[in-house]
Structure 1
Amino acid sequence: MSVTRSRALSIVSVALGATLLASCGGGGGGDEGSRTLMFAYVTSESSPHGQALSWWLDEVEARTGGEVTFERYWDATLLKPEEMVNGLGDGRVDIAQIQPTSYGANEFVATNVAEVPFISSNFPAVSAALATMVEAPDSAIRKEWNGKGIEPLSWQITAGGTLSTTEPVDGVDDLAGLRLRSIGRPAEVLAAAEASPIQLAAGDIYGSIDRGLIDGVFGVPFSFAESLKFPEVASHYTATGTGVSTANALAMSVDGWESLTEEQRMVMLEVSAEMPAKQAEIEPTFNDASCAAIQESGGTTSVFSDEEMAELADLAGGDIEAGWVADAEKAGVDGKALIAEYREAVGVAEEQFPDFELPEAACAAG
């Protein structure tokens, strides 16, 4: 039976004691309990998410005394994003980051409550809120993942409402007519503002901007700009206040999760509980690097005014939320109840991260 995070917190000291005994050769696993797990991620270890995931893997190895180790496959060298769920099920990979946006809007409709815009841009709070929500055995999000045979362990969220463009965008009116790469619910925001959302693979964004095929990209986090070399082709970075853009999660198959010892699961859950704070610690370094690259290229950063954010929300927010609720109902999920639960959980979690600031605002302020 799966071990919940609530239970993990209550007996973590027992788990760690057992782990230490195992690492010293006394009872609780030894060679018989040792596991080497194949891990897969679709982008670089040097990316913000890659650094957070690398920390998670290192911590699990250290806290299990080497009883659990990982073979690490970065940059989609093992599986593509859309192959991860099936890869977990058929054993091609043991643990992987799942990107729900790779599977269509209705494959992870409950999880994609985090994509509903204009709720929160505070990404560590969103990570913590989702972690809290899936603790409940009857959680719609947990049921969605477990129904696919996978167990979500840790959420990777970033503030995703960044608009990276070749020309300045000062307000909603400037969005009209722009060709912008975007996927998921953020694309619906653009369409409501009379921009043209265009679906492209992540690897095609740079070249498409460079050749003038698109005017920019919406939804790739500010922290990724420098590592993706976007400032070379897109000079202007604007925070629109739309909120986070995706809800990715580190996950195992349910069978793989339950094949671990209870002590190993406890350690993984303990490390996962620390992930939102670790992400909040890691992200500023990458934001600073992106800010420096933008400034060195002669670019600008800005934030929509409260009035512009409100105008965009009026244009797009209600219809998109209603659309998500309708999709959820079709999938047998009580959408209204789930989005109310999500808002409440995010509100509580935001109190844990009161110092969050949009990276574009921090960069613009110097």
Structure 2
Amino acid sequence: MRTGRWASVANKKIGNQAHAAQGGMMKRFGKGGMIASAAMAMVALGVATTSFANNASAETYKWLTFKPQGAGDAQAISTQWFVDEFKKRTNGEHEIEVFWGGSVAKTREIPDALSAGVGEFGDIVTPYFADKFPLNNAVGFFIPQPNSTIEIAHLMEKWHAKYPQFSQELANYNLKAVGFRPLESYGLLCTSPIRSLADLKGKRIRTYGFAYPALVEALGATPVSIATSEAYEALETSILDCTPIGPALAYGWKYDEVAKYYIEIPLGASFGHLIAMNLDTYNAMDDATRAVVDKLGQEYADAYNDELEKTIKDVRAGWPAKGVEVIQFPKEELVSVIKDERIQAVRQEWIARAEAAGLPAQEIVSELEF
């Protein structure tokens, strides 16, 4: 079993030494030497680097996540499902220890930490790294789009199986996708009722990424860049009029306490997270263990989606008592703006990148269009 700082963060005797090494490593991440620097840091901490392929003893792998352990949402529940199933399907010989709440690597540090082998599994919030992983952020360039959470998961699975460029983009950073976790289908949560395109004119709407600013402008509204953690106060104080979000996240962030109109505008599901592995670790697994990981990855999207749908159903059932009104937005009015040159410019940016990588871009894009 692996030992050292990253396998026992509660060990106070080495805690300060490990924290200092991690801090130095993270500084070096930003200077381009993350893999080599992280490797030296792990050696200094006595982290074992033996290949499981040549090691018959039990292995404990590390899963790095920003999600708090007690969150109780679909992300946390499905992560624990994966961990429990991995142990069961390897007959207890191997297990995964989850380092919750960014205790080893924060959200934006996880890709580099996984690349360097600080952890073996982890959650990568793909839209945060659209320049690093543009192909795997395809959906983020095509909002609105008509697919649901599970449909986007299956599209990602298909693209990875059919087009090697998707996997190679991750392999360039010593990463491999073993599962997909799209976000829920989004609408708009607003502080006043929105019933038509005319009602959106001049509204201040939270945006992020590539597609949302262009879409909001095409709708005649004003894009406002505000962090997720600051959106509650922005809605409460009328800095924002609306934010794109789904019911589960609206409830989780408590936005539905201060914004009481959920607009069913069909923005579609956004691609959210890759369940990623350190590629070297994946390749070093014996065939039986790797097959377990592959099978769990195939089943993960359904397990996650089942939990997500339960949460969404519960949230919607509770909204009337909280005074939240659900309003249907005319789909045709949303679709009518998609040809706007600003929206098309964002889509063409992804198409150009995909074609440069040798992908049949239009074949992929056709699955993201109304």
1:22 is matched with none
The residue identity in structure 1 corresponding to 2:117 is G
1:287 is matched with 312
Structure with the greater relative contact order (CA < 8 A, sep ≥ 6): 1 or 2? Answer: 1
Q: CA deviation at 1:95?
A: 0.9
1:123 is matched with 149
- Does the 8 Å contact 1:168/1:236 carry over to 2? yes
Q: Residues 110, 175 of structure 1: CA spacing in aligned structure 2 closer, same or farther, 3 A cutoff?
A: same
CA distance in 1, matches of 2:241, 2:67: 24
Q: CA deviation at 1:334?
A: 4.2
The residue identity in structure 1 corresponding to 2:335 is A
What TM-score, normalized to structure 2? 0.77
2:135 is matched with 110
CA distance in 1, matches of 2:250, 2:349: 30
Cα-to-partner distance string for 1:263-309 (whole Å, 9 max, x where unaligned): 11101111111123223321221112321343222111133223223
Cα-to-partner distance string for 1:226-250 (whole Å, 9 max, x where unaligned): 2221211111112322222234210
2:76 is matched with 50
CA distance in 2, matches of 1:30, 1:147: 25
Percent sequence identity is 19
- Structure 2 counterparts to residues 263-342 of structure 1, below 5 A: 263-315=288-340, 317-329=343-355, 332-334=356-358, 337-341=360-364
- Does the 8 Å contact 2:354/2:361 carry over to 1? no
Cα-to-partner distance string for 1:185-231 (whole Å, 9 max, x where unaligned): 2232112223222223322221222233222311x332222222121
Three-state SS of the structure 2 residue aligned to 1:134 is helix
2:207 is matched with 182
- Does the 8 Å contact 1:125/1:276 carry over to 2? no
Q: Is residue 32 of structure 1 aligned with residue 56 of structure 2?
A: yes
CA distance in 2, matches of 1:145, 1:342: 21
Larger Rg: 2
Q: CA deviation at 1:85?
A: 0.8
- Aligned partner (choices 259, 265, 283) of residue 284 of structure 2: 259
- Structure 2 counterparts to residues 345-360 of structure 1, below 5 A: none
- Does the 8 Å contact 2:190/2:260 carry over to 1? yes
2:265 is matched with 240
Q: Residues 202, 306 of structure 1: CA spacing in aligned structure 2 closer, same or farther, 3 A cutoff?
A: closer
The residue identity in structure 1 corresponding to 2:188 is L
The residue identity in structure 2 corresponding to 1:126 is I
Q: CA deviation at 1:317?
A: 4.8
1:140 is matched with 165
Cα-to-partner distance string for 1:94-136 (whole Å, 9 max, x where unaligned): 2111112112x32211112122124323210110121122124
- Does the 8 Å contact 1:127/1:155 carry over to 2? yes
Q: Residues 76, 236 of structure 1: CA spacing in aligned structure 2 closer, same or farther, 3 A cutoff?
A: farther
Q: Residues 303, 40 of structure 1: CA spacing in aligned structure 2 closer, same or farther, 3 A cutoff?
A: farther
User: Aligned-residue CA RMSD in angstroms?
Assistant: 2.5
- Aligned partner (choices 171, 178, 194) of residue 169 of structure 1: 194
Q: Residues 135, 39 of structure 1: CA spacing in aligned structure 2 closer, same or farther, 3 A cutoff?
A: same
The residue identity in structure 2 corresponding to 1:36 is T
- Segments of 4+ moved more than 4 angstroms: 28-31
2:45 is matched with none
Three-state SS of the structure 2 residue aligned to 1:322 is helix
- Does the 8 Å contact 2:73/2:308 carry over to 1? no
CA distance in 2, matches of 1:339, 1:152: 23
CA distance in 2, matches of 1:49, 1:312: 33
1:24 is matched with none
Cα-to-partner distance string for 1:158-208 (whole Å, 9 max, x where unaligned): 334321111112122222222222212223211222322222332222122
- Does the 8 Å contact 2:65/2:123 carry over to 1? yes
1:89 is matched with 115
- Does the 8 Å contact 2:105/2:113 carry over to 1? yes
Tell me the number of residue pairs that the alignment of Structure 1 and Structure 2 aligns. Answer: 313
2:36 is matched with none
CA distance in 2, matches of 1:176, 1:78: 44
Three-state SS of the structure 1 residue aligned to 2:337 is helix
Q: Which structure 1 segments of 5+ residues have no match?
A: 1-27, 348-366
Q: Is residue 68 of structure 1 aligned with residue 94 of structure 2?
A: yes
The residue identity in structure 2 corresponding to 1:338 is A
Query: Which range moved further: 163-172 or 311-320?
Result: 311-320
- Does the 8 Å contact 1:113/1:339 carry over to 2? no
CA distance in 1, matches of 2:195, 2:155: 32
